[in-house]
Amino acid sequence: MSGKLDLDPVLVARARELARRAGAPVVELARSHTTVSVERAVLRLAGVSGADPDGIPWVNRLVDAVVADVGLGHGVAAPVFDAMAREGVADVTLLAQKAAAGSVRFEVPVGKAGTAARRAARRAVAAGVRLVDRRRAERERLVRRYGDPPSRPWIYLIVATGDIYEDIPQAQAAARAGADVIAVIRSTGQSLLDYVPEGATREGFAGTYATQENFRLMRAALDQTSRELGRYVRLTNYASGLCMPEMATLAGLERLDMMLNDSMYGILFRDINPVRTFVDQRFSRQVHARAGIIINTGEDNYLTTADAVDEAHTVTVSQLLNEFFAHEAGLADWQLGLGHAFEINPEVPESFRLELAHALLARELFPDAPLKWMPPTKHMTGDVFRGNLLDGFFNLVGTMTGQGILLVGMMTEAVVTPWLSDRDIALQNVRYVLGAAGGLHEDFVPAPGGFIQQRANRVLGEAVDLLERIGEQSLLTAIAEGTFGIMKRPADRGKGLAGVARHESGYYNPATDILERAS
């Protein structure tokens, strides 16, 4: 489907060019800095695993030890593998343990020692990347064997009990009830932990901790359900917060299929330092690209704090930026679950037509991206009957505009975490709408010059205006001044800034090397 909105191709090209211009300095920033989480992700690929008795991962202990001796700016790979050679330690986790005990001194190796250390680091990291490659091949094989969902949009459901062993039967039940994608919501607050918890977890707040073991357990359970259903059920988690690169790496190692990964969400909604976020984001997207993971971006969040009509163009701008950053990091269009949401106040006249216009605009601007369509939350009031009706209209927009991934709306949004019956009613709603109107997009052709075309063109025009203004200053300044979702986030503030370093000359990161060579 294309050409329903009569968008001006020159204006669309201009919008992309402006997004590139706004994003390019940020990419430059990301290429010239590293973070503790990027370095920890490198070590995870190199094979460091497990945690100390207090639950602090060995990757954290090792990076901290290297930073204490030589700083972060050289990258940790060469100092770590140099120390392994000097200490005669063959296992990198063992080195981490020795380093944590204070019995290893790190230095930045030069000359022959430097070449040898870099070669050894590269060999170890390449083995980790090969594991990611094998997981990707495994997914492709399973999708061939069990099949993709029979139709679009894919139906995306959330589980969030806090206990992985409760999540598993709930996720399996949701899949049997029709979910194509299961997202395990993370425990509130995990995004601000500067380490990834270890092991299977049974306690969380409004969600379940994302850990490598929890990833593994859930993926194995869904593989079993996929076999049973004859349909590959996808698994989603979050590459966001302070450990974005590590989350992406663990997702690649455990064959997760989708990851929430927005270029600005952490900055705006978690007050994470902008530089930290952009550096972490670029690395995590390079890993996602390699792992064949579909990213979901978070534009829906802007509309929960800003007005969905007045600020509709900020969603378009963010989608364009997310697209630019994603392409730059090597992601293909099929991996871009660009987000948007049904959040217009239902009291606004013609709100449904406005929603149609906005959703169709996203569809036509990004014809080859799956697009993630998010349900109403802001105007869900506790009136569950009206909520169910709103969700029905949300589903209708989703199918009329060809959205790729549909997050199932709950009529009990803002009331309780979904009950079994809430989920069933919500899925019934989706099935009814998709069953009754699944092909309506064929007949749905907005009148030339009519309300929907005019609205979509206007939003695109406003997006271009905003991108022009961002281009005159810089994206970092725009974020600092509260352009997106009202929050003001200066580049020299926010959480995680201490874990950012500018590359020293001779900075070495074998993972980036390998990932960039592939693309």
Is 510:42 a contact under the CB 8 Å cutoff? yes
CB of 382 to other proteins, least distance (A): 7
Q: Which helix (H) or strand (E) holds 117?
A: helix 111-146
In angstroms, the CA 302 to CA 358 distance is 14
If the CB atoms of residues 45 and 229 are measured against other proteins, the closer one turns out to be 229
Is 409:160 a contact under the CB 8 Å cutoff? no
If the CB atoms of residues 208 and 453 are measured against other proteins, the closer one turns out to be 208
CB of 312 to other proteins, least distance (A): 15
In angstroms, the CA 106 to CA 368 distance is 48
CB of 218 to other proteins, least distance (A): 18
- DSSP code of 444? -
Looking up tokens 């300095």 gives 25
- Nearest to 57, CA basis, from 163, 210, 189: 210
CB-count burial class (<10 Å; 0-12, 13-18, 19+) for 462: middle
If the CB atoms of residues 350 and 383 are measured against other proteins, the closer one turns out to be 383
501: helix, strand or coil: strand
In angstroms, the CA 184 to CA 210 distance is 8
The contact set with other proteins (CB under 8 A) reads 162, 173, 176-177, 187-189, 191-192, 205-206, 269-271, 304-307, 378, 382, 414, 419-421, 424-425, 486-487
User: In this structure, what token pair is assigned to residue 313?
Assistant: 């163009």
Helix%, strand%, coil% for the chain, nearest 5: 55, 10, 35
Q: Of 195, 232, 265, 508, which is the active-site residue?
A: 265
CB of 284 to other proteins, least distance (A): 20
If the CB atoms of residues 68 and 414 are measured against other proteins, the closer one turns out to be 414
In angstroms, the CA 272 to CA 254 distance is 26
Whats the size of the chain, residue-wise?
519
Q: Is 300 a catalytic residue?
A: yes
Q: Is 372 a catalytic residue?
A: yes
If the CB atoms of residues 206 and 445 are measured against other proteins, the closer one turns out to be 206
If the CB atoms of residues 148 and 492 are measured against other proteins, the closer one turns out to be 492
User: In this structure, what token pair is assigned to residue 257?
Assistant: 């299929």
Q: Is 280 a catalytic residue?
A: no
DSSP 133-188: HHHHHHHHHHHHHH---SSSSEEEEEE--S-HHHHHHHHHHHHHTT-SEEEEPPPT
CB of 486 to other proteins, least distance (A): 6
CB of 193 to other proteins, least distance (A): 10
In angstroms, the CA 215 to CA 106 distance is 33
If the CB atoms of residues 122 and 270 are measured against other proteins, the closer one turns out to be 270
CB of 425 to other proteins, least distance (A): 8
CB of 421 to other proteins, least distance (A): 5
If the CB atoms of residues 101 and 416 are measured against other proteins, the closer one turns out to be 416
- Nearest to 402, CA basis, from 451, 436, 367, 376: 367
If the CB atoms of residues 162 and 339 are measured against other proteins, the closer one turns out to be 162
Q: Of 167, 300, 391, 422, which is the active-site residue?
A: 300
- Nearest to 121, CA basis, from 406, 519, 514: 514
CB of 305 to other proteins, least distance (A): 6
Q: Of 372, 391, 422, 508, which is the active-site residue?
A: 372
Tell me the H-state helices in 212-307. Answer: 212-229, 244-253, 265-270, 274-291, 300-305
User: In this structure, what token pair is assigned to residue 414?
Assistant: 């803002």
CB-count burial class (<10 Å; 0-12, 13-18, 19+) for 440: middle
In angstroms, the CA 378 to CA 119 distance is 53
Report the catalytic residues. 265, 300, 372
